[in-house]
Amino acid sequence: MAVLVIGGTGFIGYRLVRLLVARGETVTCMDSNPNAHSFADLGAKVSCVSGDVAQFEDVMSAMAAAEADRVVNLAYLIGGHHPPHLAMRINILGTDNCFEAARLLGVKHTVYAGSFAPNGKQSNYGDRDVTEDDPLYGDYQYARHKIMNEWQALDYIEKFGMCITGIRAAYVTGPDKARGTVDHVKCITEPARGNAVTLPFKDAMVCAIHVDDMAEVFARVMMTDKPVHRIYNSGGTPISLGEIADIVRSYLPEAKISFQNEHGAKASNPTYRLDNSRLLSEFAIAYPPFRQRVLQIINDTRGKIGLPAVVEPL
């Protein structure tokens, strides 16, 4: 099966590409920075092309050359600080380019990276899990664009009968995450390097999902011919930064993790309780314990700088 991964050398993308190849798929990777990750060890199983998702000709050319019957769009500007014109170009026009090219070329299934950001703050929902059918309250650039993407997909589905699926990704976590919300990553990676780290709020909450699990979600959803729903919460592990720090200290007792404030994040916590029951039941997905993923991140980080691995305490 031929797959096009747009944004395929990025944080989630390169892991997804490798996962698909390991499962026997032929993958074309389109990225504005195709050399950000090398697939040389995979030989002819992966083709990399340079392309700008905001240029329709680039998207159309890559999709046609790949003869793709599955497409995943991971190309996005994360965060709400970008100049409006640039953000609209990548996030809105870029998404439309993917959908329109997929329509013209008869792509069987298109999947795009959504986000929990459209939900806004957890306080909008009280002390309960948030479903895909709940109202959306996101009110900043990134959240508004993700809301728009969901409407764009629905418009194509209703007008052309296309199969388009969005994954509302939670706080994707991994040793090389550098964009978006990263305090929960620094809480792990900085102590793993032997560095001290100070974070704003001990009670800040996240819904953490390891990047390997996120890649697995995209792979399973994309390879399904026609998912039951058009939107899925990835979900993850609801956890505070203080709890992550405790896990890190259980592996690295000398870890220097401090917080400027013990409390104070509750009112501003983004949504962290995400109901992902439809994803888990439909695609038979089960995430490893987050503690296990923390250890993996610690050792991935340490391995890159020549430090010995740590093991689970007896």
pLDDT above 70 as % of the chain: 100
Q: Are 235 and 276 in contact (CB under 8 A)?
A: yes
Tell me how far apart the alpha carbons of residues 76 and 87 are, in angstroms, rounded to a whole number.
8
Average pLDDT, the chain: 96
For residue 72, give the DSSP letter: E
Both tokens assigned to 23: 């499962």
CA atoms within 13 A on the CB side of 121: 10
pLDDT value of residue 12: 97
Would you call 30 helix, strand, or coil by DSSP? Answer: strand
Question: What would the pLDDT profile of 157-209 be if each residue is shown by its tens digit?
Answer: 999 999 999 999 999 999 999 888 899 999 999 999 999 999 999 999 999 99
Both tokens assigned to 49: 């092309």
Q: At what angle do helices 141-160 and 94-105 cross, to 10 degrees?
A: 20
Q: Are 278 and 228 in contact (CB under 8 A)?
A: yes
pLDDT value of residue 1: 85
For residue 31, give the DSSP letter: E
pLDDT value of residue 260: 96
pLDDT value of residue 283: 97
Which DSSP string do the residues of 123-155 spell out, in sequence order? GGT-SSPBPTTS-----SHHHHHHHHHHHHHHH
**Backbone angle region of 149, left / alpha / beta, with phi > 0 → left and psi within -120 to 50 → alpha:** alpha
The mean pLDDT of 228-240, rounded to a whole number, is: 98
pLDDT value of residue 267: 84
Tokens 């629905």 belong to: 154
Instruction: List Cβ neighbours of 9 (8 Å cut-off, separation of 6 or more).
Output: 29, 31, 33, 34, 35, 36, 37, 48
Tokens 């870890």 belong to: 255
Q: Compute the residue count for the chain.
A: 314
Question: What would the pLDDT profile of 262-310 be if each residue is shown by its tens digit?
Answer: 998 888 899 999 999 999 999 999 999 999 999 999 999 999 999 999 9
Of 80, 85, 63, nearest in space to 72 by CA: 63
Map out the domains of the chain with their CATH numbers: 2-172+211-233 (3.40.50.720), 174-207+237-269+288-304 (3.90.25.10)
Tell me how far apart the alpha carbons of residues 4 and 109 are, in angstroms, rounded to a whole number.
11
pLDDT value of residue 165: 98
Evaluated on CA atoms 92, 96, 98, 99, the torsion sign reads: positive
Tell me how far apart the alpha carbons of residues 183 and 178 are, in angstroms, rounded to a whole number.
10
Q: Are 49 and 30 in contact (CB under 8 A)?
A: yes
Checking DSSP bridges between strand 109-115 and strand 164-169, what pairing results, if any? parallel
Tell me how far apart the alpha carbons of residues 87 and 237 are, in angstroms, rounded to a whole number.
29
Tell me how far apart the alpha carbons of residues 310 and 296 are, in angstroms, rounded to a whole number.
9
Question: What would the pLDDT profile of 73-111 be if each residue is shown by its tens digit?
Answer: 999 998 878 999 999 999 999 999 999 999 999 999 999
SS3 content of the chain, % helix, strand, coil (to 5): 45, 20, 35
| Burial tier of 275 (Cβ tally within 10 Å: 0-12, 13-18, 19+) | middle
pLDDT value of residue 282: 97
